[in-house]
Structure 1
């Protein structure tokens, strides 16, 4: 049987009520979930709200999750898309009850094709991150997810500032390439 990924371990612990394990899942995936929400809603404030709603729903549903792959991100992305669609519907209802005209920037429907593309992209990114070395994942996590400066990440990992900068640059290039491949597919 293959070894469990950190997402699988954290999800199992969180499903049994371990809040610290859920915090680890949150820290690992809050930024990608935010950007999915922001891409759908176009509003930083709404994206923040939907991101929080996504993790509240995830916390409640973790007990029913059967994580097949290594990453929980595709599942979170699906929850996020549903929460964002709910937010769009709420916007339309709110605007319909005001004297202002409906904002043309809000789509009338949720584009299912775009949702499928977003899910495929999230899965592709998760796969790409999963293929990184442990050190590269640690650098990415500290700098991209936790917001560490290069020097702080270097001290945390016991390596040089330049090594962190170079590894992160290489990882970002690799992830951009994966995103572009997915979009071109």
Structure 2
């Protein structure tokens, strides 16, 4: 069955027109590609479009796939990030749409309200960051990529990425402090 095959083998099959291999890769990687796009664009509809465009490019580029490197997952995330950057440039920044509320249903009402308030402030802070700073934060903290993987997705060397991430965290910390969020407030998410 195709879902258990490694990504490179699925890419070889996709290059030969195997729709089942393509479906297996989409099922394997779509959730993370969509989440990355949604976090960067804050628009579910645009995130769906970016995810579809990312996988359309995967289909188109399958015959030229060489394998190796960081793999299909990193390539997809790089394509996704670039498509998000293109959309952000086209619209001139963030839309006013809010990210969906992802509060823990098991948490108490007070804790849930505090988490939602802080999450809103974090979202406002993310919107105020430059596209590159936002991407560094999203890939590292929301998508939990290693610094090396995030650097590859953004097409940076590791030192440049770590410098970018340091500046992004510093800027976000300033913005959150200005909004009244303290370091101990973030412990609500632990």
Q: Indicate the RMSD between aligned Cα atoms, in angstroms.
A: 3.5
Aligned length: 113
CA contact (8 A) 1:58 1:79 kept: no
Question: Partners of 1:17 and 1:117 in 2: how far apart?
Answer: 34
CA contact (8 A) 1:8 1:71 kept: yes
CA contact (8 A) 1:50 1:83 kept: yes
Of the three residues 101, 109, 118, the one matched with 2:139 is 118
Deviation at 1:91, TM superposition (A): 1.4
> Unpaired runs of 5+ in structure 2?
96-124, 150-190
Question: Partners of 2:128 and 2:16 in 1: how far apart?
Answer: 39
Mapping for residues 4-153 of structure 1, pairs under 5 Å: 6-68=6-68, 71-92=71-92, 109-111=130-132, 114-115=135-136, 118=139, 121-122=144-145
Match for residue 158 of structure 1? none
Task: Describe the shift of the 1:14–1:106 C-alpha distance in structure 2 as closer, same or farther (beyond 3 A).
Answer: same
> Unpaired runs of 5+ in structure 1?
96-103, 127-185
* 1:93-113 Cα deviation digits (max 9, x unpaired): 9x9xxxxxxxx9866853068
TM-score by length of 2: 0.49
Question: Partners of 1:91 and 1:62 in 2: how far apart?
Answer: 30
| Of 65-74 and 46-55, the range deviating more from structure 2 | 65-74
Deviation at 1:118, TM superposition (A): 2.2
Question: Partners of 1:108 and 1:5 in 2: how far apart?
Answer: 39
* 1:65-123 Cα deviation digits (max 9, x unpaired): 22215751111000000111111122129x9xxxxxxxx98668530683497289446
